[in-house]
Amino acid sequence: MRLRPARPDEVIKVLERLGFTRIRQSGSHAVFPHPDCRWTTVPIHSGDVAKGTLRRILKDTGITVDEFERLRRG
């Protein structure tokens, strides 16, 4: 499945469904750790998260594009 652009609020919703929690925000970047020591940073800008950045977030969290799309839909 191809990776589609995503808004920051969609990315955050998926991360929270996976058990990540926002612990801090510095400027326009929010930090999300997971209890098992994985963590990622999400840029909170207007517009979509860049594809390369989104791929890095998926790699950091250990989920596939298919899993992300499934969680994103509901």
The tokens for 43 are 């840029």
Convert the pLDDT of each residue in 18-72 to its tens digit: 999 999 999 999 999 999 999 999 999 889 999 999 999 999 999 999 999 999 9
Convert the pLDDT of each residue in 3-17 to its tens digit: 888 999 999 999 999
Q: Output the CA torsion 52→69→28→20 (10° steps).
A: -120
Whether 25 contacts 63, CB under 8 Å: no
Q: Domains for the chain: give ranges and CATH numbers.
A: 8-73 (3.30.920.30)
Residue 53 is predicted with a pLDDT of 95
The tokens for 14 are 């998926």
Residue 2 is predicted with a pLDDT of 87
pTM: 0.91
Please determine, for residue 1, whether its predicted confidence score (pLDDT) is greater than 80: no
